[in-house]
Amino acid sequence: MDLAEWISATIAAARRIPPVSWTLRGFIAIAATIALLGTTLPAWDAPNVYVAAAIFAAIACAIVPDTIAALLLVAMVGVCWLARAPGEVSVGAVVTALGLLGVHIGAALAASFPAHATIGRRILRTWGLHGLALAAFTTAAAGFAALVEAWSPPGSIVVVVLAMGGLAALAWQVAHRP
| Residue that is last in its domain, among 119, 154, 170 | 119
What pLDDT, in 10s, does the model give residues 7-52? 888 888 878 888 888 889 999 999 999 998 888 776 667 778 888 8
The number of beta carbons lying within 10 Å of the beta carbon of residue 61 is 28
Q: Do residues 35 and 109 share a domain?
A: yes
Q: Do residues 40 and 64 share a domain?
A: yes
Q: Do residues 103 and 27 share a domain?
A: yes
What pLDDT, in 10s, does the model give residues 56-113? 999 999 988 888 999 999 998 888 888 777 777 888 888 999 999 999 999 999 988 8
Q: Do residues 15 and 90 share a domain?
A: yes
DSSP character string of 163-174:
HHHHHHHHHHHH
* CA distance linking residue 135 with residue 131, whole number of Å: 6
Question: What's the total number of domains in the chain?
Answer: 2
Q: Do residues 111 and 143 share a domain?
A: no
Q: Do residues 29 and 99 share a domain?
A: yes
- Residue 158 buriedness (CB in 10 A; 0-12 / 13-18 / 19+): exposed
Q: Do residues 106 and 144 share a domain?
A: no
pTM above 0.95, yes or no: no
* CA distance linking residue 12 with residue 6, whole number of Å: 10
Task: Quote the domain boundaries for residue 132.
Answer: 124-178
Q: What's the angle, vertex CA 144, arms to CA 84 and CA 154, rounded to 5?
A: 85
Q: Do residues 96 and 140 share a domain?
A: no
